[in-house]
Structure 1
Amino acid sequence: MEETPNLDLPRSSDAARTIRALLGAAGSPIFAVLDGGQFDDLPGLLGEEDIECRSLFREGGDADHRLAGPWLVPASDVLTQSYVERLDAKAPCAVYWLCPAGEDRLWRHLRTLNEVLIPREESAHQGKATAGAGYERVLFRHWDPNVLAPVLPILTRPQFSRFLGPARRVVFNAPDYGGVKRVGAADDLPPAPPGPLRFEPEQMDRLKAAMLHASRLRIARFLKGHVPPHFSGVNDDFVWGATLASEKSADELGIRTERGRARWATVMVVSDGKAAEMPEVRDYVRGGNPDERVKSLIGHAVDALRSGAAAAS
């Protein structure tokens, strides 16, 4: 079994304090890229505080898509940083860029990162990912800290140079990946390759593995928060083990969403692992949308499962 990770979320106050110290020692113009998808109207919120922002999406497109996209905010002053810090404490939404070249150049560069090339599924499976037909353009949510965190470690040095562009450093808090990250340019960083950022099949495999681990971590945290209080002997090792153990039956039942798998892990724990063996439970989950059926199951049948497990023991 995998070693048990720390299931406690990093405290937002600790993360904010660390980021504040890092930015205070930056000695460079600071800009925040904010995730508009975390708010109903991020530009409106910023406008109420007289904070300027610029969309990184093209004008003229879908208004809702643009509203939920990335927004660039000059953040070198303490008041703006404090407001962004409060937004980031509600949900991870800020990536700080330290860029001596200034706002316009950074804005132009960041717009070139909105899309990246990844291997087409059929090419990746056949080991034939080549330039052109072997790749497809996809949206790269570099403004979401929990998306950016697993990407940066897989980049080659030339790719990292392409990612940074005119900037010298990025700082952000990614709770799903251990907390605050600070990544900067080395003095001997090679020139950036031309064209869009492109990921190779082996990099995608590493990225998927990191994202799977983060998904398991979120499921384990959900499970830890939903174990009945009267259960004894429930520690992080138990919760992590139960999370991994529930995956096989979740796959068999067709439970695909992360939320559905988290609920199923809870059902398995409450039923002492017997839910997967109960024909009536399996038939019920498979009788419709499995993820929706598990939602109904955990809402209405956990007590019955607990009673059935106790009677069978």
Structure 2
Amino acid sequence: MLVTGLGSAAGRSIATQLSARGLPVLGADSCQVPGIAGTEAVVLPPASDPDWVPALRRLVDARNLNVVIPTRTEELPHLAAARAAFSDGVRLIVSDPGPVALANDRLLTAWTLQAEGIAVPRFGVPSDFAAAPASLAAMGGSVVVRPRVPRGENGAVVLPGAGPVDWAQQPEGRIVQEFIPGAGYVALVFGTRTQNAMAPHVVVVDQPVRAGLGAGTDTGAASAVGRRVATGAAADVAPLAMAAVHAVGLTGPVEVDIRRRADGTPVVLGLRARFGASSAAAPELLDAVLAAFLLPSFNPASFRRRPSAYAGAVRSA
């Protein structure tokens, strides 16, 4: 099995979990990183390099690999779009290109969820506030400015809503969101609703608010691993996460960032269509992926190369 992004917290977590199960693991990253728990590590071009997919394909073929688990967000659109470039026997643990593209752009995600009636923070882009400064008042306080498309760290900055900001000078490719001050969660979702012998499920993990949050603070905590929330606690978070995943159309492992408003209402901040570091708190998610690979009763369309590849197994599920 190949785990990309081995130098990330997510990559280290997945490689460690696989190795602990006695499975052979090869790690890869865009720079030299040490192997984990006996894993070998190799260097590939960064995902932004046009040669990343060809290099990945050559590595898969040379090492006779049959499962690829990407863990860096920037890899997902490239890998999803290149599914057909890999042989039939290679399982890519990534959703289809359209849903991945939606999840990979925070503005498109917010539009999609809002259209489906799923609660999200109030949002806009800097040009909205440059054209109509008074509309910032609708945010109701501080705002978070972050890149629409994630690049490694979250890169979020919290600004006072009433502060003097020249929105016309803000960089392109940003989204402005209402700052949500309450308790935070990462909901780990796996499975699909249709023809799935293994029921979809959600595991909720705490993501505490960082102390001293203020202007200029990076609010990204995707690499942090919180505590697993007890069954029955935060009962309104799991269904919200599942609704968001299905609204975007994602299959396979997904992380959903959710935070509560001051009145306790949960809202969806964003989705990451991959395993993350928090998967260590929910080992059954990786078990589900392994079952999807090994058991024909599971819906293989979750990770299919093409619709007809496992049509018989889908019909019999």
Q: What TM-score results when the alignment is normalised by the length of structure 1?
A: 0.26
Structure 1 or 2: larger helix share? Answer: 1
Structure 1 or 2: larger strand share? Answer: 2
Question: Is the radius of gyration larger for structure 1 or structure 2?
Answer: 1
Higher RCO (C-alpha 8 Å, min separation 6) = 2
